[in-house]
Structure 1
Amino acid sequence: MLTEPFLTTRVENDRDIPLLCWRAERPLLMISSGPLGGGIGPRNWLINATVPMSYHRDDPDAHLAELADRLGLAGPGVGLLTGVDVAEVVRRVDAGVRVWATVGLGTPIRAAEPSLDAEVPGLSPAGPAPERVGTVNIVAFVPARLSDAALVNAVATATEAKAQALADLGLDATGTPTDSVTICCPADGPVSAYGGPRSRWGAPLARAVHAAVLAGGAAPVVPWSERREP
């Protein structure tokens, strides 16, 4: 089981910066596109850390590992970054599937464009600082063991549901340049082979992601660094 996240802060450059932390009661199987702990495998914890819009570190994995160490998190885990104040996390539950989303839609893009020769603005550890929050981080817990293939399918399902929410918000976009998805499930038990939007677990996952992104996207989001600059 994945615990509800707790909100805490860490001190960087003499400022208290928020982050969310989830702990697993026992190692969970996770699939993630996060800069720390990405891929598929057993993970013990997950953090979603706010960073200022001036963030320029080119080693986000090392940074996130440092934050995890400060929290005393042991073993492998997943780390995510966002310019959104993670205190604004939106939670939705559907048929036992739990979803948490931090939603910043300041840099909406369509995934397929005629040309991507020019650098797309967005929250990028190695790129220039953007002016608007543009990251959607989705974390989901499915209370049944999913096969590796079902986990991959569940990521696609969550992404499709996010894109549907953006369309319902009136955005001609499929996401932002730096979105991340993490799906967690028990590491043992009977295996479910499917994670598509009409499957036993994919359907409530899609509904919960859609509801969370829709709610988060409907609220105005100001970059944390703009709101909290002294």
Structure 2
Amino acid sequence: MLNEPLLTARHEDGRDIPLLVWRADRLLPSVSSGPLGGGLGGRKWVLNATVPMSYDREDPADHLADLADQLGLDGPGVGLLTGVDVAEVVDRADTGVRVWATVGLGAPVWAAAAPAVLTQRAGTVNIVAYVPARLGDAALVNAVATATEAKVQALAELGIPGTGTPTDAVTVLCPADGPEAAYGGPRSTWGAPLARAVRAAVVAGGAVAVVPWSERTFA
């Protein structure tokens, strides 16, 4: 099982910058679009790290691997980045499915936008989900699509003019044991509660005006 996330921090540029860490006691089947540990495979942890909105490193996977090493995270894991304070994470549950979302919507775009629009400064919506039943590989991939559809539904309800941001990421994990569920679509046994939980988390997170971490005033 995936444990509750731990809020911690790293000291950088004279400030304590927040990090969220989820741990598991064994490898969990997963799928992720994150820069570190993306794709399909067994993962033991997930790291969601706040970075300044000016972040321009060209090696985000290496950066996340260094952060994981500093935190003592061993084995394969998933690493995500966001410009918002990960302490603002929103969690929702539905029928045993757990979803955590950090929602940054400062610069939403349409997925099929013209190239000129894609040069805008990006925010990030990071979604981490745990489904309490073993999903086959195809079902895991389908679950990413389901979570994305639910995110877009939430943005429409919020009146956000876009389908997301260019840097959004989704990670879905599940147990390694038990009967395998073959489907993860929005009308499947586990895709339906996943969709509802994602929608609820993104609506809640997006309804609050979140100031990017690097633009906050610190005492």
Asked if TM exceeds 0.5, the reply is yes
Whichever residue aligns with residue 43 of structure 1, its letter is R
Superposed CA deviations along residues 91-128 of structure 1, whole A, max 9, x for unmatched, are 00000000000001111111113x325642234xxxxx
Shift of 1:188: 2.6
CA RMSD of aligned residues (A): 1.2
Query: Partners in 1 of 2:218 and 2:59 — Cα distance?
Result: 24
For 1:122, the equivalent position in structure 2 comes to 121
Change (3 A) 1:226 1:118: closer
Give the direction of change, closer, same or farther, for the CA distance of 1:86–1:76 in structure 2 (3 Å limit): same
TM, length-normalised to structure 2: 0.97
Q: What is the deviation of 1:9?
A: 0.3
Correspondences of 1:64-103 after superposition (within 5 Å)? 64-103=64-103
Q: Is the 8 A contact 1:120 1:177 kept in 2?
A: no
- Inter-partner Cα distance in structure 1 for 2:163 and 2:205: 15
The 5-angstrom pairing of residues 67-216 of structure 1 reads 67-113=67-113, 115-116=114-115, 119-123=118-122, 134-216=123-205
Taking a change above 3 Å as real, the CA distance of residues 228 and 43 of structure 1, as seen in their structure-2 partners, is farther
Q: Report the CA distance shift for 1:19/1:33 in structure 2 as closer, same or farther (over 3 A).
A: same
2:62 corresponds to 1:62: yes
TM-score (ref. length: structure 1): 0.92
* Structure 1, 53-62 or 100-109: larger mean CA deviation: 53-62
Contact 1:143 1:185 in 2 (8 A): yes
> 1:45 deviation in Å?
0.4
Q: Is the 8 A contact 1:122 1:176 kept in 2?
A: no
Partner Cα separation in structure 2 for residue 162 and residue 27 of structure 1: 27
Instruction: Give the whole-Å Cα distance in 2 for the aligned partners of 1:10 and 1:71.
Output: 9
In structure 1, the partner of 2:30 is 30
In the alignment of these two chains, the number of paired residues is: 219
Cα distance in 1 between the residues matched to 2:59 and 2:164: 24
Q: Give 5+ residue unaligned stretches, structure 2.
A: none
Q: Any idea what the Cα deviations from partners look like across 1:123-166, whole Å, max 9, x if unmatched?
A: 4xxxxxxxxxx100000000001010001100000000000000
CA distance in 1, matches of 2:203, 2:116: 31
